[in-house]
Structure 1
Amino acid sequence: MSTFFQKQQQVAALDPRLGGLMASAGLYNLKALIKAIRSCKTLADERSLIQKESAAIRTAFKDEDPFARHNNIAKLLYIHMLGYPAHFGQIECLKLVATPRFTDKRLGYLGIMLLLDENTEVLTLVTNGLKNDMNHSNMYVVGLALCTFANIASEEMSRDLCNEIEKLMGSSNTYIRRKAAICAMRIVRKVPDLLDHFVDRTKQLLSDKNHGVLLCAVTLAIEICRADPEALEDYRKAVPLLVRHLKALVTTGYSPEHDVSGITDPFLQVKVLRLLRLLGKDHPQASESMNDILAQVATNTEASKNVGNSILYETVLTILEIEADNGLRVMAINILGKFLSNRDNNIRYVALNTLNKVVAMDTNAVQRHRNIILDCLRDGDISIRRRALELSYALINESNVRVLTRELLSFLEVADNEFKLSMTTQICLAAEKFAPNKRWHIDTVLRVLKLAGNYVREEILSAFIRLVCHTPELQAYTVQKLFSALHADFSQESLTLAAVWVIGEFGEVLIQGGNFEDEELVREVQAKDVVDLLSSVLDSPYITEHIRQFVLTAFAKLCTRFQHDAASQSRIEHIIGSFEQSVEVEIQQRSVEYYNLLQRRDIRDGVLESMPPPEIKQTVLGTVSEAKPVGSTRTDKDALLDLMGDEMPGSGGAAAAAGGMAPPTTQQSTQDLLADIFGASDDLGAATTTTTTAAAASQQPQQKPKSSVNDILGLFGDSGMGGGSSPAPSAASPAMSSNAGGAFGGLDLLGGGSGSGAAAAMPAAAATAATSPPPSSSPSVTSPIAPAAAAAAGGKSHVAYQQKGLKVTLTLTTNPARPDITNITARFSTTGMAAVRGVNFQAAVPKSQKLQMQAISNPDVVPGKTETQAMRVMAPQSAQIRLRLRIMFSVDGGEQNVADQVDWSQPSA
């Protein structure tokens, strides 16, 4: 570069006028520009150089120098390729195309293709130049025009030049025919109305001996057939011709001009196979004429290289699409089976994906490759595992349900979490549809619950409960199996729900024992063992509000099942009564109702008797959508009755189903969620809670009083709770009304004619509050969980957050019987006169600890009142409790959408 500039300075010294001209023109040529750009050390230097050169090119364009135009356009196109603006050269490209020199035309057309598109207004000026050059005597100039048309032609240009393209398709020059066919394809895509101009021309080109022309003609025919189904009949007459072309390609010897890895022109073979696939679909005559050649291609094509595999794959697709013979279809599926043993993951994926589409077409032929399909479940590529899993579901039938289910259960143990939900659903549906006997069906579902109980849908769990109810001969077997499984593992939510429900319903069968061959079964179970197990479930760190509801209902039923064990009955009543001050409104309501029901020995046996078997409803594959959220529920009355069997008000069994299925959560998914919320901290586990707004609570449907419960209206008359009367519904807080209907759904067991389960629970809540000391921190607490808050008031209180109008105080209490569990009550109050709205309180703990949270009593905190939210932390003894808190709220008349995060540690004693 230094030499170039020295020469430029020498010329300027000899002739100042010439030197100024060269300076205004910028760098001499494209080569000099490239060298100058490459020598720039920074992006700023490059940008400065490009700006100066662009200015020089603009100046040169104004001088209308025809000799410098070629050089300037070349430099401008290079600048455009670097990403800098070059639109000011569009007109100059048109001028360059108008020159007679071929090199200028070539560069001008290149500039047009780079700088213009079909939406550019300048494009209308190109049409006349293209039309002239298409009629040029030089075939290379014609080729330039055709190439440009194929790249930038708009709808208007296609209509204007359609006749020229059609005429050039009949040219005697193969070079021009090939390019004209490509232009015709552009016209067909842009203006389908003009495809009639090219149907006859295309059929003529299909007879061409030149491979390039033939390839373009077949591609154009495919495009026409896809755009106009009526054209299929015209091209079906050319099927024998296409078969001859394909046969010649397969049987011909070595052709250096067209050979690719030992195969003659694989690109043309693939295109011909695709056209035959379109022509043979739903047409037996055309399919019959191509059966032999397809068998020949499938037999003679070498599959050791990827070129051959591509042809075999197109052949398989063609065979499966047309009306082929059964033997030919089997051959195609066998080819896909060979693909499964290929080392290339792409080929195996293609084979699995194709088999998924054809398994319904010929299941028996696919069954022959079942073993290798199951081997793909252990592949390292997750995409292959997913496709193999989908194919395995489709292969299950009556004859192989045992084998395939066993393999799927083995894979379920090591499967990724994203597979488990669909796997549990499909395995249980297959067991329901193809089970050889009911015991095998029950064993299969039990195995699923043990392996992936947190990934089981509500429909599957309810279907399992119906199955147990309708199989009295296996109820003892099932309840003992569930007792044993629950004794070993509390972490699987669906397993816990199923076990608690069945144990509560068939508890008397469990303690009777049995004589079974299975060594895992517990043969002798005492009533004390059952109560101990369910009590342990209540103390489990995996307990949820939904499981706690099931356990309380199971306890109430077991109290009537264990008639001859007074000690167990007394213990059950004590456990149920211990939840009368629970911070969970639903649990508190159930506890009060059940405790008082158990005191009425004259009616409790009738209310809590065994429920009749629910109506059998076969689970249909279409009703279980894989897009459905995990653990999603229907909160209407029908969903509850579906699960519990349409129970009548007198049976009492519906209590175990209230609330629907809670969303199953795992420790891993919770940590992933809070990693996003709290900044992906490595040392934090997490638990989150969703709050229920007063507006959502107020939208709960009111239940109509039912005459069937009139005999129970005086159930609490002796307990001093106001008999059958209830306070006004307005006295109930939104949190209380958010679960109207309580444990008995739409049965209104304690409604007292008020029409609201929440209102019926208020006397109980008022009575327990009256017997508890008021909270020391706030005498005006009106939350329905005030009894629990008052009970926790004896613990140590610590201010965890006090900013922007909101104060959060944490009160810690520990049960001496369980020192590893700390109950924390978070109290929310205002520090000013403005109300705080939409409080969302979230917390996370270290991985060594476990956290459970309940919903806040009311997300809207008004001055003078205190709202509460309960938490439970399970930590190693003497370990310090650490919390990372995230608080989101808004203040009336003040700051909106506050989101703060604080770290809080338990002060040392």
Structure 2
Amino acid sequence: MIINTYNKTGENAELLADLNSEYRDRRKDAVKRVIANMTVGKDVSSLFPHVVKNMQTEDLEMKKLVYLYLMNYAKSNPDLVILAVNTFVKDTDHVNPLIRALAIRTMGCIRVDKILDHLCEPLRKCLEDDDPYVRKTAAICVAKLWDLDQERALENGFVTILQGLVSDSNPMVVANAVTALAEMQESSETKDIFVVNVAIMNKMLAALNECTEWGQIAILTSLAEYRPLDSKEAESICERVMPRLQHANGSVVLSAIKVLMILLRYINNDEFVKGLIRKMSPPLVTLLSSAPEVQYVSLRNINLILQKRPDILQNDVRVFFCKYNDPPYVKREKLEIIIKLCNDKNIEQILSELKEYASEVDVDFVRKAVRAIGRCAIKIDEASERCVNVLLDLINTKVNYVVQEAIIVIKDIFRKYPKRYEAIIPTLCQNLDSLDEPEAKGSLIWIIGEYAERIDNADELIENFLETFLEENSRVQLQLLTATVKLFLKKPSQSEEIVHRVLQTATEEIDNPDTRDRAFVYWRLLSTNPQAAKAVVLSEKPPISVETNTVSPALMDELINNISTLASVYHKPPTAFMGNKAYSADAVKKAAAAE
């Protein structure tokens, strides 16, 4: 009946004839063409029974092709999949271990209830197979069964068998058993499917050296769950994990660093800790020689590690200097790390580098570089004067956006070091006419108001801004309002008319409630108690500092536990991604750059 659905001519008719040919080569060629059509999106599901007939062959390549077809179309033909069951079961007893493994893998991938009824016995045999390749394939199949039917997996004792495979003599079987158990643990309601104890930890460490890179990642990820009994045990585990730092795969390196960072919490030996930190630096530096996407993932993880352990990479700041062809997202991340690593020993070379960045063509990057200079000044007291001189050099370039960004950061420097750099105020005021950004205007107005008693023409400068008071951004209006009141409190004879005009305009002609309410507050204070107004408006400002830690301590520990996952790339808890899972950084190399 299915044959009649085809036209007598055309490709489908040819495929049908060849699939039923008496010649093996023609049948094999037909199956290849069916797979090719399937790959490009053509619907060849109607050929299902004719393709399935070709399962019974000794040709391994042909069998693989048919199994691939079955996995793709099993869901759309659940009733016909039962035709393949006998061949599957027969293949799990085949003399060739590749065919046994292929059969059990395919049965696990066919997510149809009717297959599950016939899966248990073949799976049990494969889990106890003499060949390690079959056992490691069957281990993953248990996780697939668990995903579909947890009760069936428990009733048939597959979880217990899988736990036993962690002690297998073959390291790849151990790695796959650990991978499967860890996956099952995540979705388990009881959460006791896979608990890493001392015995399991030692077995995993023994298998670590001989696994493939993906097996090593699985084992290291599970090792991160283990909590050592004392400092000596933590040191012992570190010594056995440290060789993984030399691995060529970046994900293995980051997974090893995750384990070491967690174990550092339990080590009391300061000398051992210092030695371990020294050994962690070179692998992190090596990661920066990868493709930009991998660099970004590495930089985000390094950013996190530095917040927890600032002494790592202290002598390697040069490797974070930006290259001309670095993508913008890599440059931004490198800047953040440079600020975290700057100290009184390397500040000269960092300032020289940041000054170079300020002459680049990428405006956004230039702004961040100028801001970084200001952050260095606030972070390192001894370097503040050198930083201010660099900022003055940049102001003298007369490049508009550089000047404005420099004024913004100088305001913060004034906040950090009051009454130390008033001599540069005239230079700043010379650029008053070139300011057109609200933040830059607000910063200069704040400086004028804060140091009004030291600026002879402060009233003229404020008047200059007041000409466009109604058109200004609300941020600028608020700064003008406060600066005018400061001017009046410091020089009442020169500014009484100005403050009255500003307060009247702000309360009668401005709709913004923040500006209007602040004006009413100032007016009430000045009219009823000028001394109280002085105490409020001219009070000491709280000191500011560079915020190098971007996450809270509680979240920090959680993110350290998830190094090399999406959580450590976005600096958000794992629960923010796909429910409760955090995925390998290698799986998101290209996606990470889109942040």
Q: TM-score per shorter chain, which class?
A: 0.5 to 0.7
Q: Once the two structures are superposed, what CA deviation does each residue of 1:732-785 show, in whole Å capped at 9, x if it has no partner?
A: xxxxxxxxxxxxxxxxxxxxxxxxxxxxxxxxxxxxxxxxxxxxxxxxxxxxxx
1:544 and 1:165, CA in 2 relative to 1: closer, same or farther beyond 3 A?
A: same
Partner of residue 39, structure 2: 81
Partner of residue 573, structure 2: none
Partner of residue 503, structure 1: 448
Equivalent of 1:319 in 257, 260, 264? 260
Whether contact under 8 Å (1:273, 1:318) holds in the other structure is no
CA distance in 2, matches of 1:462, 1:538: 20
Q: What is the Cα deviation at residue 314 of structure 1? A: 5.1
1:120 and 1:316, CA in 2 relative to 1: closer, same or farther beyond 3 A?
A: same
Q: What is the Cα deviation at residue 388 of structure 1? A: 1.8
Partner of residue 357, structure 1: 304
Pairing 1:571-582 to 2, within 5 Å after superposition = none
Partner of residue 162, structure 1: 120
Whether contact under 8 Å (1:486, 1:495) holds in the other structure is no
CA distance in 2, matches of 1:159, 1:60: 33
CA distance in 1, matches of 2:382, 2:28: 85
Q: Does 1:482 align with 2:425?
A: yes
CA distance in 2, matches of 1:360, 1:349: 17
Q: What is the Cα deviation at residue 88 of structure 1? A: 0.9
Q: What is the Cα deviation at residue 275 of structure 1? A: 0.9
1:121 and 1:411, CA in 2 relative to 1: closer, same or farther beyond 3 A?
A: farther
Q: Once the two structures are superposed, what CA deviation does each residue of 1:416-440 show, in whole Å capped at 9, x if it has no partner?
A: 55557877888777766x5649986
Whether contact under 8 Å (2:139, 2:173) holds in the other structure is yes
Q: What is the Cα deviation at residue 287 of structure 1? A: 4.3
Whether contact under 8 Å (1:363, 1:395) holds in the other structure is yes
Q: What is the Cα deviation at residue 137 of structure 1? A: 5.7
Q: What is the Cα deviation at residue 173 of structure 1? A: 3.8
Q: What is the Cα deviation at residue 227 of structure 1? A: 2.9
Partner of residue 70, structure 2: 112
User: What fraction of aligned residue pairs are identical, expressed as a percent?
Assistant: 15
Q: Does 1:544 align with 2:490?
A: no
Question: Which amino acid letter does the alignment assign opposite residue 441 of structure 2?
Answer: T
SS of 1:372's equivalent? Answer: helix
CA distance in 1, matches of 2:159, 2:341: 46
Q: What is the Cα deviation at residue 363 of structure 1? A: 1.9
Equivalent of 1:93 in 30, 51, 73? 51
Whether contact under 8 Å (2:416, 2:545) holds in the other structure is no
Question: Which amino acid letter does the alignment assign opposite residue 320 of structure 1?
Answer: M
More strand by share: 1
Equivalent of 2:240 in 293, 299, 303? 293
Q: Does 1:237 align with 2:199?
A: yes
Pairing 1:177-192 to 2, within 5 Å after superposition = 177-191=135-149
More helix by share: 2
CA distance in 2, matches of 1:357, 1:625: 9
CA distance in 2, matches of 1:562, 1:246: 75
CA distance in 2, matches of 1:168, 1:178: 9
Equivalent of 1:388 in 322, 325, 334? 334
Q: Which has the higher contact order (CA 8 A, sep 6+)?
A: 2
1:131 and 1:621, CA in 2 relative to 1: closer, same or farther beyond 3 A?
A: farther
Whether contact under 8 Å (2:132, 2:173) holds in the other structure is no
Structure with higher Rg: it is 1
Partner of residue 271, structure 1: 215
Question: Which amino acid letter does the alignment assign opposite residue 334 of structure 2?
Answer: A
SS of 1:380's equivalent? Answer: coil
1:389 and 1:223, CA in 2 relative to 1: closer, same or farther beyond 3 A?
A: farther
Q: What is the Cα deviation at residue 224 of structure 1? A: 0.8
Question: Which amino acid letter does the alignment assign opposite residue 221 of structure 1?
Answer: V
CA distance in 1, matches of 2:285, 2:478: 54
1:65 and 1:275, CA in 2 relative to 1: closer, same or farther beyond 3 A?
A: closer
Q: Once the two structures are superposed, what CA deviation does each residue of 1:422-469 show, in whole Å capped at 9, x if it has no partner?
A: 77888777766x5649986996998799676867999x999889779x
Pairing 1:113-128 to 2, within 5 Å after superposition = 113-117=71-75, 122-123=80-81, 126-128=84-86
Unaligned runs of 5+ in 1: 1-22, 27-51, 250-266, 512-526, 627-909
Q: Once the two structures are superposed, what CA deviation does each residue of 1:463-491 show, in whole Å capped at 9, x if it has no partner?
A: 889779xx5xx29x53x633430222432
Q: What is the Cα deviation at residue 510 of structure 1? A: 1.9
Q: What is the Cα deviation at residue 494 of structure 1? A: 3.0
Partner of residue 149, structure 1: 107
Whether contact under 8 Å (1:93, 1:108) holds in the other structure is yes
**How high is the TM-score relative to the length of structure 2?**
0.63
CA RMSD between the two structures: 5.8
CA distance in 2, matches of 1:144, 1:605: 88
Unaligned runs of 5+ in 2: 1-5, 186-190, 396-400, 552-595
Partner of residue 283, structure 2: 336
CA distance in 1, matches of 2:15, 2:139: 38
Whether contact under 8 Å (1:429, 1:621) holds in the other structure is yes
Q: What is the Cα deviation at residue 205 of structure 1? A: 7.2
CA distance in 2, matches of 1:585, 1:233: 65
Partner of residue 178, structure 2: 221
Pairing 1:684-699 to 2, within 5 Å after superposition = none
Q: Once the two structures are superposed, what CA deviation does each residue of 1:821-855 show, in whole Å capped at 9, x if it has no partner?
A: xxxxxxxxxxxxxxxxxxxxxxxxxxxxxxxxxxx
CA distance in 1, matches of 2:136, 2:479: 76
Q: Once the two structures are superposed, what CA deviation does each residue of 1:762-810 show, in whole Å capped at 9, x if it has no partner?
A: xxxxxxxxxxxxxxxxxxxxxxxxxxxxxxxxxxxxxxxxxxxxxxxxx
CA distance in 2, matches of 1:222, 1:346: 26
1:106 and 1:505, CA in 2 relative to 1: closer, same or farther beyond 3 A?
A: closer
Partner of residue 578, structure 2: none
Q: What is the Cα deviation at residue 112 of structure 1? A: 1.3
Q: Once the two structures are superposed, what CA deviation does each residue of 1:256-283 show, in whole Å capped at 9, x if it has no partner?
A: xxxxxxxxxxx62662464145236443
1:66 and 1:111, CA in 2 relative to 1: closer, same or farther beyond 3 A?
A: farther
Q: Once the two structures are superposed, what CA deviation does each residue of 1:561-607 show, in whole Å capped at 9, x if it has no partner?
A: 66777xx999x79x969x99xx97569xx99xx9xx99xxx979969
Equivalent of 1:284 in 228, 237, 243? 228
Pairing 1:434-449 to 2, within 5 Å after superposition = 434=379, 436=381
CA distance in 2, matches of 1:124, 1:405: 69
CA distance in 2, matches of 1:234, 1:532: 73
Whether contact under 8 Å (2:339, 2:375) holds in the other structure is no
Stretch moving more, 363-372 or 324-333: 324-333
Q: What is the Cα deviation at residue 170 of structure 1? A: 1.5
1:72 and 1:396, CA in 2 relative to 1: closer, same or farther beyond 3 A?
A: closer
SS of 2:443's equivalent? Answer: helix
Pairing 1:781-820 to 2, within 5 Å after superposition = none
CA distance in 1, matches of 2:238, 2:532: 71
Q: Does 1:197 align with 2:158?
A: yes
The total of aligned residue pairs comes to: 506
Q: Once the two structures are superposed, what CA deviation does each residue of 1:388-407 show, in whole Å capped at 9, x if it has no partner?
A: 2232344467x679669846
Q: Once the two structures are superposed, what CA deviation does each residue of 1:129-152 show, in whole Å capped at 9, x if it has no partner?
A: 423432456656534422422433
CA distance in 2, matches of 1:370, 1:69: 63
Question: Which amino acid letter does the alignment assign opposite residue 219 of structure 1?
Answer: N
CA distance in 1, matches of 2:136, 2:126: 9
Q: Does 1:54 align with 2:1?
A: no
CA distance in 2, matches of 1:564, 1:234: 77
Pairing 1:414-425 to 2, within 5 Å after superposition = 414=359, 416-418=362-364
Whether contact under 8 Å (2:143, 2:183) holds in the other structure is no
Question: Which amino acid letter does the alignment assign opposite residue 197 of structure 1?
Answer: F
SS of 1:364's equivalent? Answer: coil
